């Protein structure tokens, strides 16, 4: 059956963690009482991290070891909980034979070891150096009582897995899954493929994330089939998400120009332009990641990033103008905040950020324009997988209330002139990725471009569209207005050979007509365009963003596409006023 757009990414993560056949060995969740001496080990995201997930490593038994109390090791110097590179001293308590496991094979150097909780931010580290010495060397601090006859060992640790020499102890593989909602670990169990199937499992997708047929017996294929079969949205997970809200008004651009008519009696006037956006955005974002690969040598061979989104967008664009020319505000930041992500220190960091930008482009030949355009959208059950798979993704994208209010007073001398306005309110989720100590990084984005376009033009009475009666010699104000919503999923860099900046998909792209060739005939002096469908003048403005009513020097005019001047109609009006004051002799 087809993939339902109501299927949450939560099921993708759950599916990737389900047991998919008797040929695979199920690994238990992290158990600090069980030593990691059998060539496999697991680690769960801490309960206080705000997220949930599991990391598992496996390989030759000589390649993976353990320096936690489960094997008898006691660290007798203070560990730095924030350092990814440090030296520690430790001793074997009570002669535990499991301590010897660290030195099997080619020795301790380049062995991947599980660390005690709180000893560095990462669950696993590489041993870069081993030596024996006396405790309390300069710079160390003994924090654990010592056994008087125990040998003291020193280890230098880091997460530079690329520096390991694979032939020494063998290759170490890993798999991980995570969700930015806490308490979801118990819903699933990670599995690793049997040795005969690992190679096929780790070579699923072609370069740049190009879709390939996935064999049903393949690990990743089995998990995607679980997603394919999922039919409901997890309401519990959805309820636990912390929404992000933006609500504020911002002046994107404002300026004024002094216009002077050079006559026997100079007459001056001021022409101005103001562009504003007033917006509200609500979003609840669920985020998950699945990855497989090797720590030694460091490489991610399979990667899946999932997004779930519910929310709404409300954008009001306003223009007040009696200048002529062109202005492009460029994308101006309105709001930016980090949202919960995933952290498997030293292996994979997933750091999402929610931001909103506003932008207005204006071409002005017709002046005396005062307009508001409001568009709203509702988004529900949006589900996306990156890199894109051959399953359908998407969601429900619906247009809400739309309003257009225009006040225009074109002169018959303005016939043929127009004003064009395009406004963009763009919420975007940027997901920063950093893998294996920083050897690869990229940003994946979900971009929701809510835009509106408005064109008001002056035409001779009776020449265009719908009209009302007007005196002879009058002009018409004609308007076209459209709203557009485009939702894009893509990347800004390459990530191993799994995807690059050309990888992406369009989840939604549609234009919604608001007004089509609506015209009203007016006199030379004044007119008010009909409100479609409801007036916005006098509406309650949202609170300005911080700093909006103070210093605007951070929005440099020189950084914009700017070309403005005095309107010809204003010059004509000034000229007529001068002639009235000084009649021709």
User: What is the pLDDT confidence band of residue 286, given thresholds at 50, 70 and 90?
Assistant: confident
| pLDDT at 116 > cutoff 70 | yes
Identify the residue with better confidence: 343 or 48. Answer: 343
Tell me what pLDDT residue 38 has. 93
Q: Taking the CA atoms of 126, 128, 129 and 134 in sequence, report the sign of the dihedral they define.
A: negative
Q: Name the pairing type of β-strands 342-344 and 86-92.
A: unpaired
Mean pLDDT value across residues 408-421: 71
**CA dist., res. 26 & res. 17, Å (int):** 10
Q: Which residues make Cβ contacts (< 8 Å) with residue 100, sequence separation at least 6?
A: none
Identify the residue with better confidence: 556 or 401. Answer: 401
Which of 100-114, 322-336, 445-459 has the highest average model confidence (pLDDT)?
A: 100-114
Please state which of the ranges 215-219, 294-298, 345-349, 382-386 shows the lowest mean pLDDT. Answer: 215-219
Mean pLDDT value across residues 262-268: 50
| pLDDT at 585 > cutoff 60 | no
Which of 102-111, 162-171, 414-423 has the highest average model confidence (pLDDT)?
A: 102-111
Do 293 and 176 touch, CB atoms closer than 8 A?
no
Please state which of the ranges 238-247, 266-275, 351-360, 419-428 shows the lowest mean pLDDT. Answer: 266-275
Tell me what pLDDT residue 55 has. 92
| pLDDT at 389 > cutoff 50 | yes
User: What is the pLDDT confidence band of residue 434, given thresholds at 50, 70 and 90?
Assistant: very high
Please state which of the ranges 13-27, 311-325, 480-494 shows the lowest mean pLDDT. Answer: 13-27
Q: What's the alpha-carbon Rg for the chain, to the nearest Å?
A: 32
| Cα dihedral 228→230→232→233 (10° resolution) | -80
Identify the residue with better confidence: 280 or 565. Answer: 280
Tell me what pLDDT residue 233 has. 46
Identify the residue with better confidence: 397 or 135. Answer: 397
Mean pLDDT value across residues 494-499: 93
Identify the residue with better confidence: 119 or 232. Answer: 119
What is the distance in angstroms between the CA of the first residue and the CA of the last residue of the chain? Answer: 89
Identify the residue with better confidence: 189 or 48. Answer: 48
**CA dist., res. 227 & res. 190, Å (int):** 15
| pLDDT at 381 > cutoff 90 | no
**CA dist., res. 315 & res. 427, Å (int):** 11
| pLDDT at 469 > cutoff 80 | no
Residue 235 has phi, psi (to 5 degrees) of -65, -30
Mean pLDDT value across residues 67-74: 94
**CA dist., res. 385 & res. 283, Å (int):** 18
Mean pLDDT value across residues 496-521: 87
Which of 208-212, 355-359, 411-415 has the highest average model confidence (pLDDT)?
A: 355-359
| pLDDT at 485 > cutoff 70 | yes
Average pLDDT over all residues of the chain: 73
| pLDDT tens-digit map of 144-157 | 555 556 789 999 99
Q: What residue spans of 176-255 are helical by DSSP H?
A: 195-201, 219-229, 235-240
pTM over 0.85: no
| pLDDT tens-digit map of 317-344 | 998 888 788 888 889 999 999 998 999 9
Tell me what pLDDT residue 136 has. 53
Please state which of the ranges 360-369, 478-487, 494-503 shows the lowest mean pLDDT. Answer: 360-369
Tell me what pLDDT residue 206 has. 32
Quote the percentage of the chain above a pLDDT of 70. 64
**CA dist., res. 242 & res. 341, Å (int):** 12
**CA dist., res. 420 & res. 538, Å (int):** 24
Tell me what pLDDT residue 501 has. 93
Tell me what pLDDT residue 271 has. 78
Tell me what pLDDT residue 242 has. 80
Q: Provide the CA 380 distance to its chain's centre, in angstroms.
A: 17
Mean pLDDT value across residues 419-430: 92
Mean pLDDT value across residues 338-363: 92
Three-state DSSP string of 479-506: EEEEEEEEEEEEECCCECCCECCCCEEE
Identify the residue with better confidence: 543 or 257. Answer: 257
Quote the percentage of the chain above a pLDDT of 90. 35
Which of 63-72, 203-212, 375-384 has the highest average model confidence (pLDDT)?
A: 63-72
Tell me what pLDDT residue 414 has. 64
Which of 106-120, 189-203, 234-248 has the highest average model confidence (pLDDT)?
A: 106-120
| pLDDT at 278 > cutoff 80 | yes
């Amino acid at each position: 059956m087809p993939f339902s757009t109501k299927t949450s990414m939560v099921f993708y993560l759950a599916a990737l963690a389900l047991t998919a056949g008797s040929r695979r060995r199920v690994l238990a969740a992290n158990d600090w009482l069980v030593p990691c001496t059998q060539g496999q080990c697991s680690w769960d995201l801490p309960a206080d991290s705000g997220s949930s997930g599991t990391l598992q490593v496996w390989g030759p038994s000589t390649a993976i070891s353990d320096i936690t109390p489960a094997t008898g090791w006691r660290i007798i110097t203070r560990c730095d909980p924030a350092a990814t590179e440090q030296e520690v001293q430790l001793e074997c308590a009570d002669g535990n034979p499991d301590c010897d496991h660290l030195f099997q094979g080619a020795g301790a150097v380049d062995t991947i070891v599980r660390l005690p909780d709180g000893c560095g931010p990462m669950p696993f580290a590489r041993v870069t150096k081993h030596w024996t010495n006396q405790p309390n060397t300069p710079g160390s601090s003994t924090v654990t009582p010592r056994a008087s006859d125990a040998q003291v060992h020193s280890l230098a640790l880091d997460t530079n897995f690329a520096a390991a020499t694979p032939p020494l102890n063998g290759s170490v593989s890993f798999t991980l899954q995570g969700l930015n909602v806490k308490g979801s670990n118990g819903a699933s169990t990670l599995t690793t493929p049997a040795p005969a199937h690992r190679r096929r499992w780790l070579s699923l997708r072609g370069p740049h994330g190009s879709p390939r047929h996935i064999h049903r017996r393949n690990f990743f294929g089995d998990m995607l089939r679980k997603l394919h079969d999922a039919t409901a949205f997890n309401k519990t997970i959805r309820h636990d998400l912390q929404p992000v809200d933006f609500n504020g008004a911002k002046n994107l651009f404002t300026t004024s120009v002094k216009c002077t008519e050079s006559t026997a009696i100079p007459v001056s006037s001021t022409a101005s332009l103001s562009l504003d956006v007033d917006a509200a955005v609500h979003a609840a974002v669920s985020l998950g990641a699945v990855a497989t690969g090797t720590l030694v040598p460091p490489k991610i061979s399979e990667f899946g990033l999932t997004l779930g989104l519910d929310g709404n967008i409300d954008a009001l664009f306003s223009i007040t103008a009696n200048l002529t020319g062109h202005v492009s505000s460029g994308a101006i930041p309105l709001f930016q905040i980090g949202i919960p992500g995933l952290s498997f220190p030293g292996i994979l960091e997933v750091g999402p950020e929610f931001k909103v930008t506003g932008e207005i482009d204006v071409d002005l030949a017709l002046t005396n324009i005062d307009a508001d355009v409001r568009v709203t959208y509702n988004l529900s059950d949006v589900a996306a997988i990156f890199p894109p798979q051959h399953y359908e993704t998407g969601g429900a994208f619906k247009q809400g209330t739309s309003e257009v209010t225009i006040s225009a007073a074109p002169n018959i001398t303005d016939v043929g002139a127009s004003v064009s306005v395009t406004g963009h309110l763009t919420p975007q989720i940027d997901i920063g990725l950093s893998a294996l100590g920083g050897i690869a990084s990229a940003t994946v984005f979900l971009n929701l471009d809510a835009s509106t376009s408005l064109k008001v033009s002056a035409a001779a009475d009776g020449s265009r569209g719908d009209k009302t009666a007007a005196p002879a010699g009058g002009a018409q104000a004609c308007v076209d207005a459209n709203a557009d919503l485009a939702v894009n999923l893509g990347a800004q860099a390459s990530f191993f050979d799994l995807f690059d900046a050309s990888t992406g998909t369009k989840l939604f792209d549609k234009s919604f007509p608001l007004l089509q060739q609506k015209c009203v005939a007016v006199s030379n002096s004044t007119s008010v365009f009909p409100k479609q469908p409801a007036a916005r003048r006098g509406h309650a403005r949202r609170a300005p963003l911080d700093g909006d009513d103070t210093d605007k020097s951070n929005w440099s005019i020189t950084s914009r596409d700017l070309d403005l001047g005095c309107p010809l109609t204003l010059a004509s009006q000034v000229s007529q006023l001068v002639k009235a004051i000084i009649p021709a002799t």
